[in-house]
Amino acid sequence: MKLIGPFKQIVTLANLPLRGKLSDDQLEIIENGGILVDDGKVVEIASFEFLKNEAKHSQIELIEDEQICLPAFTDSHTHICFGGNRANDFAMRNAGKTYLEIAESGGGIWSSVQHTRNASEVELLETTLERINSLISLGITTIEIKSGYGLDLENELKMLRVIQKAQTFTNATLVPTCLSAHLKPRDFKGSSEEYLNYIVDEILPQVKEEKLSDRVDIFIEKSAFQPEESKQFLLKAKALGFHITVHADQFTPGSSRIAVEVGAKSADHLEATIDQDIQFLANSETVAVALPGASLGLGEKFTPARKILDYNGILAIASDWNPGSAPMGNLITQASILATFEKLSTAEVLAGITFRSAFALGLDDRGKLEKRKKADFVTFKTDNFQNVLYQQGSLKKESVFIDGIKV
């Protein structure tokens, strides 16, 4: 058993509800606290001196300087396994070029597909691990990673195998998601419906056999897959035993309703969601995942996070780190900016990047510093936890602990 502390403040997020709005006075803040850990789990959180006296035979890991402690963060939507670079897309978009013009000039998702297909497994593993380590350095210890830049059997499996192999090189928890339905590849001879059937018949059975992922995603949009064919695809994937998540309502509304109807774990993006669909989503168990990085990268409006919470929905916040629309990857900066524009309390933001985001991945064993929860936490050298969001990502973490061990 190990006692870690003392911390100036421990913000536990204990006893906060899964859904709906939160006020900062609901936060449990333990002053001069310690965390007692055993076998990777939290045993107790209380005054450091109290725990020191009660747990006399425990190993003690002293925290020097003034530090605050938060539950480690979860990034529930990333595309960090990819080859190539799309800086030219960003420059063209800022110069006024349209999505179609960028795609026709050799950019867009298809550019990432070509670079990812051309990359070896070794190259993809190396760059993916670099991005994983970058996220860990921000205090993120649970990371969802999508495929979706392979778009055929060989290359989608290559991506998912890389993600699986990456897990052997990191103590962070990686959650792989099969996004073969990112868009219909240009070299597929057939309709989008036929391509979705190809995924169901050829790719998903192999993914299941190799145990590469238990989650399936689809991009429902005019430029990708249409609502009805997407709904049928999701139902087929669910029948194969996969959990479902959806890229929904990014540019046009309506697909978040499909996510709810098929029982998706989450509906991600939602920048274009209309009021009646916000209410429909908020009344369900489907998590609304805001992706402010995509709004910043594309110059689009933000997810209506305030309305989702006011309607008593479950709001998570993720980075959408990808080579095209959301290249920043800094979840803390993005969440802080979203809070400013959507008027989110500190409690709502912290919940959105911890236990509510973990719930979107089907994980309920982390995101709060409570007894029997996973002992993943992050510390910052400051005397006030509010400085983490106030400084919008410029306050760097001091330490990251996974299962109670500093990494």
For residue 134, what is the domain's CATH number? 3.20.20.140
Judge if 92 and 221 occupy the same domain: yes
158 and 212 housed in the same domain = yes
Give residue 207's pLDDT: 98
Q: What is the pLDDT of residue 98?
A: 81
Q: What is the pLDDT of residue 106?
A: 79
**66 and 77 housed in the same domain:** no
Sign of the alpha-carbon dihedral angle for 28, 360, 109, 140 = positive
Q: Which two tokens stand for residue 355?
A: 């236990």
Find the CATH number of the domain harbouring 399: 2.30.40.10
Handedness of CA 119, 120, 121, 125 (dihedral sign): negative
Q: How far apart are CA 299 and CA 325, in angstroms?
A: 10
Residue 327 and residue 382 in one domain:
no
Q: Do both 127 and 233 map to the same domain?
A: yes
**Burial of 115 by CB count in 10 Å (0-12 exposed, 13-18 middle, 19+ buried)?**
middle
200 and 220 share one domain: yes
Asked if residue 332 and residue 206 are part of one domain, the reply reads yes
pLDDT in tens, 266-275: 999 999 999 9
More confident residue, 380 or 108: 380
Count up the domains in the chain and report the number.
Answer: 2
Residues 17-31: b if buried by 16+ CB within 10 A, e if exposed: eebbbbeeeebeebe
**212 and 328, same domain (yes or no):** yes
Look at residue 170 and tell me whether its pLDDT is greater than 90: yes
Model confidence pLDDT, tens digit, residues 341-373: 999 999 999 999 999 999 999 999 999 999 999
Whole-number average pLDDT of the chain: 96
Q: Are 168 and 238 in a shared domain?
A: yes
In angstroms, rounded to a whole number, what is the distance separating the alpha carbons of residues 86 and 165? 25
pTM for the predicted model, two decimal places: 0.97
SS3 for the chain is CEEEEEEEEEECCCCCCCCCCCCHHHCCEEEEEEEEEECCEEEEEEEHHHHHHHCCCCEEEECCCCCEEEECEEECCCCCCCCCCCHHHHHHHHCCCCHHHHHHCCCCHHHHHHHHHHCCHHHHHHHHHHHHHHHHCCCEEEEEEECCCCCCHHHHHHHHHHHHHHHCCCCCEEEEEEEEECCCCCCCCCCHHHHHHHHHHHHHHHHHHCCCCCEEEEEECCCCECHHHHHHHHHHHHHCCCEEEEEECCCCCCHHHHHHHCCCCEEEECCCCCHHHHHHHHCCCCEEEECHHHHHHHCCCCCCHHHHHHCCCCEEECCCCCCCCCCCCCHHHHHHHHHHHHCCCHHHHHHHCCHHHHHHCCCCCCCCCCCCCECCEEEECCCCCCHHHHCCCCCCEEEEEECCEEC
Residue 105 clears pLDDT 90, i.e. is over it:
no
Which residues constitute the domain of residue 45? 2-71+367-406
Same-domain pairing of 39 and 57: yes
Residue 324, beta-bridge partner list: none
Judgement on whether residues 301 and 389 belong to the same structural domain of the protein: no
| Residue 241: pLDDT band with limits 50, 70, 90 | very high
Tell me: do 295 and 380 sit in the same domain.
Answer: no
